[in-house]
């Protein structure tokens, strides 16, 4: 009996061992046949947008009138009235300021008296010459006396013409006592006040003519040579996104002693409404090089055989991510060499090797491998 029990126990133990070995073999066979799939790595991407290859530089500028004149009285005197304020619109012939006319009126009266005296002297000399002329015909006077009378008449008539000219000058001076506008414009500065005594030609007002306006910018000397070749546009700070074409009208031949920059004046071809003098603007000078380029973050660049390269998502990954909009859409990577034309701040200007619409990895590029599965990472919703 005891022997039979031992035999049955041994058979049961052997059966359990065989069952365990069978299960272990099945598990190993299943693991070898279907290994676990590697998880796709999340990556940041940027979509390639090709644009014309343009080299652009920007300069701060100020809007100024093309013609701004300092106007003043053509005679001296005491200002009795200033008829306009800064910012006033003026029209041709409009009175801007006046001088006290008292002294000029007295000068005109004195000149009129001198003219009357000269005319009387001329009339006397004319009658005297007429008498001596008749005496000369009858040989009752000498040739010398006749010539002397003729000279006296000529001097008297010349004196009349001289005093008449002086009277006209004083009459004009009387008109100059009122300062008038020559052209339509805007008063940008007032430099005299009533009661002030001004000299002839002293600046009284500054008037900016209406019409052409321009943006004034300072250009560094290293960018001076190709400025005439560039396409210019002006964008007002008060109207962002609205660029106005401009034309280079004047470029200073000498540098400013303080800033060592050259002043450029760009005429606005079609000034926008609401433009005011003194506004701040940005002048953009663009130079087209031809071809198409893409602007990518410098963090997207890596190297392949000591040359610049970027990781590009496969077309399948790009289309899947684009169609589903799913952050977990997976794809594979391709290391593609590119040509970098220039660097602008934290951007690389890529001139070749990419197509419009492709997706490029922009972060962690040194930890990726060709053919590695990745998924497009998106910002979580807040």
pLDDT at 309: 92
Query: Is the predicted pLDDT of residue 128 greater than 90, yes or no?
Result: no
Q: Residue 329's pLDDT is what?
A: 56
pLDDT for 140 equals 78
Q: Which residue has the higher pLDDT, 64 or 133?
A: 64
Question: Cβ neighbours of residue 319 under 8 Å, at least 6 residues apart?
Answer: none
Q: How many CB atoms lie within 10 A of CB 20?
A: 10
CA 295 to CA 297: how far, in whole Å?
Answer: 7
Query: 102-137 and 143-176 are packed helices; what angle lies between their axes, rounded to 10 degrees?
Result: 160
* Residue 20 predicted with pLDDT over 60: no
Is the Cβ–Cβ distance between 377 and 361 less than 8 Å? Answer: no
How much is the average pLDDT of 245-257?
93
Residue 18: pLDDT over 50: no
The reply to whether the predicted model has a pTM over 0.85 is: no
Per-residue pLDDT, averaged over 19-35, amounts to 45
Mean pLDDT of 88-113: 94
Instruction: Determine the pLDDT at residue 42.
Output: 85
What proportion of the chain, given as a percentage, has pLDDT over 90? 47
286 vs 113, more confident: 113
Least confident of 14-18, 114-118, 219-223: 14-18
pLDDT confidence bin for 270, thresholds 50/70/90:
confident
Which phi and psi (to 5°) does residue 117 adopt?
A: -65, -45
- pLDDT above 80 (res 379): no
Distance between the two ends of the chain, CA-based, in angstroms? 78
How much is the pLDDT for 43?
Answer: 86
pLDDT at 31 over 80: no
- Give the closest residue to 128 by CA, choosing from 155, 150, 157: 150
Question: Which range, 17-31, 164-178, 330-344, 352-366, has the best average confidence (pLDDT)?
Answer: 164-178
pLDDT greater at residue 119 or residue 145? 119
Residues across the chain? 382
Do 310 and 47 form a contact (C-beta atoms < 8 A)?
no
Q: Stretch 212-217: mean pLDDT, rounded?
A: 92
The pLDDT of residue 16:
40
- The answer to whether residue 10 scores a pLDDT higher than 50 is no
Q: From residue 236, how far is each of 58, 219, 220, 230, 233 by CA, in Å? A: 13, 18, 21, 19, 10
């Amino acid at each position: 009996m005891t022997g039979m029990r031992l035999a049955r126990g041994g058979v049961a133990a052997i059966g359990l061992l065989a069952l365990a070995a069978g299960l272990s073999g099945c598990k190993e066979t299943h693991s070898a046949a279907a290994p676990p799939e590697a998880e796709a790595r999340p990556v940041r991407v940027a979509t390639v947008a090709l644009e014309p290859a343009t080299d652009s530089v920007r300069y701060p500028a100020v809007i100024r009138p093309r013609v701004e004149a300092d106007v003043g009285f053509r005679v001296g005197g005491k200002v009795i009235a200033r008829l306009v304020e800064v910012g006033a619109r003026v029209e041709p012939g409009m009175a801007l300021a006046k001088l006290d006319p008292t002294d000029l009126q007295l000068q005109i009266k004195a000149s009129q008296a001198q003219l009357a005296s000269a005319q009387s002297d001329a009339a006397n000399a004319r009658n005297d010459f007429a008498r001596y002329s008749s005496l000369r015909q009858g040989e009752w006077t000498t040739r010398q006396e006749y010539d002397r009378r003729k000279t006296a008449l000529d001097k008297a008539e010349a004196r009349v013409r001289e005093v008449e000219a002086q009277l006209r000058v004083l009459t004009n001076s009387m008109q100059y006592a009122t300062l008038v506008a020559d052209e339509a414009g805007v008063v940008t500065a007032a430099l005299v006040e009533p009661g002030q005594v001004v000299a002839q030609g002293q600046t009284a007002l500054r008037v900016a003519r209406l019409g052409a306006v321009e943006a004034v910018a300072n250009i560094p000397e290293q960018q001076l040579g190709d400025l005439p070749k560039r396409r210019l546009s002006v964008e007002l700070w008060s109207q962002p996104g609205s660029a106005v074409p401009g034309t280079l009208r004047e470029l200073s031949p000498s540098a400013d002693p303080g800033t060592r920059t050259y002043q450029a004046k760009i005429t606005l071809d079609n000034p926008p409404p609401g433009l005011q003098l003194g506004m701040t603007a940005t002048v953009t000078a663009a130079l087209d090089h031809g071809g198409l380029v893409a602007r990518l973050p410098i963090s997207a660049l890596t190297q392949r055989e000591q040359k610049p390269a970027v990781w590009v998502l496969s077309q399948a990954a790009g289309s899947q991510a684009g169609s589903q909009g799913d952050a977990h859409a997976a794809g594979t990577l391709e290391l593609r060499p590119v040509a970098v034309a220039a660097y602008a701040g934290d951007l690389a200007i890529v001139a070749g090797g990419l197509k419009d619409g492709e997706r490029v990895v922009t972060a962690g590029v040194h930890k990726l491998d060709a053919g590695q599965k990745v998924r497009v990472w998106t910002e979580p919703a807040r």
